[in-house]
Amino acid sequence: MPRTAATKPISTGIGWAGGLVAVAAGLYPAMHGVYWAIPLTIAAVGGAIGIWRAVVLLGMVMNHLHWRDIEVPADDD
């Protein structure tokens, strides 16, 4: 069976490295006891999530453009 866009899954997970960064960013204010860091941490996490979503969206667009250009032979050829 040929691999098509319908059978090829798209991974949208952030992976263990992204999870580790998110946990470290969340623990940063508690470890340092600096309350002014909380809004900065929230902004950093929000920005990282926004970038991650943009990268996922770009990947989905690129995947669509790639698989759109591949001709899938018919079963009766």
Contact 45, 20 (CB under 8 A): no
Q: Determine, yes or no, domain membership for 14.
A: no
Q: Determine, yes or no, domain membership for 25.
A: no
Q: Could you tell me the pTM of the whole model? A: 0.40
Q: Determine, yes or no, domain membership for 6.
A: no
pLDDT at residue 36, as a whole number: 67
- H or E, element range at 45: helix 37-68
Round to whole Å and give the CA distance between 22 and 35: 18
Expressed as residue numbers, the domain containing 52 is 35-68
Q: Determine, yes or no, domain membership for 4.
A: no
pLDDT at residue 5, as a whole number: 61
74 pLDDT more than 70: no
Mind listing the pLDDT tens digit for each residue in 12-67? 676 777 777 888 777 776 666 666 666 777 888 888 888 888 899 998 888 888 77
pLDDT at residue 19, as a whole number: 78
